[in-house]
Amino acid sequence: NAGVTQTPKFRVLKTGQSMTLLCAQDMNHEYMYWYRQDPGMGLRLIHYSVGEGTTAKGEVPDGYNVSRLKKQNFLLGLESAAPSQTSVYFCASRRDNRGFGGYTFGSGTRLTVV
């Protein structure tokens, strides 16, 4: 049982380049999330999805796009990377919104934009 898997683990981009971060979960969770973590800023929500085919904006969505074509996958895209997007990105998933279900996080993707 792998849980939440993020690929790649590390990436260096040049300003203006594009890339896609992949998040895959094998727990049949409905909800999936993308967070970024910056020094002194904690975890901030970029986008989230409450089910296959749905996406919604979080706290800091600008410069990112997402897609949830399959229930198990949540993709985060950077169309034109900027140095301000240098961060550690975490994907998380949750079973549903009934009662309380804790988030399961991936191990993160460290992205540097030069």
Partner 1 sequence: DQQVKQNSPSLSVQEGRISILNCDYTNSMFDYFLWYKKYPAEGPTFLISISSIKDKNEDGRFTVFLNKSAKHLSLHIVPSQPGDSAVYFCAARTNGGSQGNLIFGKGTKLSVKP
Binding site for partner 1 (CB under 8 A): 4, 31, 33, 35, 40-45, 48, 50, 56, 58, 90, 92, 97, 100, 102-108
Instruction: Say which DSSP state 83 is in.
Output: G
Q: Is the dihedral of CA 105, 109, 26, 57 positive or negative?
A: positive
Q: Whose Cβ is closer to partner 1: residue 17's or residue 44's?
A: 44
Q: Whose Cβ is closer to partner 1: residue 38's or residue 79's?
A: 38
The Cα–Cα gap between 46 and 76 comes to 9
Which residues, in sequence order, are CB contacts of 79 under 8 Å at separation 6+? 18, 63, 65
Q: How far is the CB of 52 from partner 1 (least distance, A)?
A: 15
Q: How far is the CB of 57 from partner 1 (least distance, A)?
A: 11
Q: How far is the CB of 20 from partner 1 (least distance, A)?
A: 19
